[in-house]
């Protein structure tokens, strides 16, 4: 018997009086159904963006829930805000910054990148996978590029699955 099923069957044996009509086949079906629900999960994205790198009127992508956080400059991105987004249920967090030297506040994108890289190491250390957090250089006028970034993130989340910090089956 595979290890991942062991806990289900152990709980089944412990609760025989509570669930007298559930046998091993039914428990396995419930487990598979739970995994299937996990696969059908709608990804939740949180998007931190500079006023100059994303417009609220940018196209929303079907197949995901997206929360946006506007900032005067991407340099305002703080470690705690990125981590809180995951705690609040985000499966992935994106930070959109102005490209290169076009930042109106000097080095906003560079500061944000340093913070994102730092938080990625934290996510890897706690088992959340740093690939769930990414930073991109964009302009508000480049809506096609932004849509592609979001689509690629959704595709990556299909292989990574939901945020493991949340127990979504309960």
Q: Dmax over Cα atoms in the chain, in whole Å?
A: 68
Rg (CA), the chain: 20
Note the pLDDT of residue 94: 94
pTM, to two decimals: 0.71
Q: How far apart are CA 149 and CA 167, in angstroms?
A: 27
Mean pLDDT (whole number) for 4-27: 47
pLDDT tens, residue by residue, 89-126 = 999 999 988 877 766 666 778 888 999 999 999 999 98
92: its two tokens: 């992935």
Calculate the dihedral angle through the C-alpha atoms of 74, 78, 80, 86, rounding to the nearest 10 degrees. Answer: 20
Task: Tell me the pLDDT band of 169, cut-offs 50, 70 and 90.
Answer: very low
CB 119 within 8 A of CB 106: no
Which numeric CATH code is attached to 44-160? 3.40.50
- Residue spans of the domains in the chain: they are 3-39, 44-160
């Amino acid at each position: 018997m595979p290890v991942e099923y062991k806990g289900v069957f152990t709980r089944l044996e412990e609760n025989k009086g509570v669930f007298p009509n559930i046998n091993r086949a039914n428990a396995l079906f419930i487990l598979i159904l739970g995994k299937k629900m996990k696969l059908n999960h709608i990804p939740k994205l949180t998007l931190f963006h500079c006023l100059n790198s994303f417009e609220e009127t940018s196209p929303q992508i079907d197949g995901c829930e997206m929360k946006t956080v506007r900032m005067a400059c991407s340099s305002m991105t703080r470690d705690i805000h990125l981590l809180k987004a995951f705690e609040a249920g985000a499966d992935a967090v994106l930070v959109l910054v102005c490209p290169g030297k076009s930042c109106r506040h000097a080095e906003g994108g560079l500061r944000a990148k340093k913070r994102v890289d730092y938080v990625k190491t934290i996510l890897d250390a706690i088992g959340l996978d740093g690939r769930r957090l990414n930073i991109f250089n964009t302009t508000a006028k480049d809506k096609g590029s932004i849509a592609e970034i979001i689509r690629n993130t959704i595709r990556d989340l299909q292989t990574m699955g939901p945020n493991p910090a949340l127990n979504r089956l309960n």
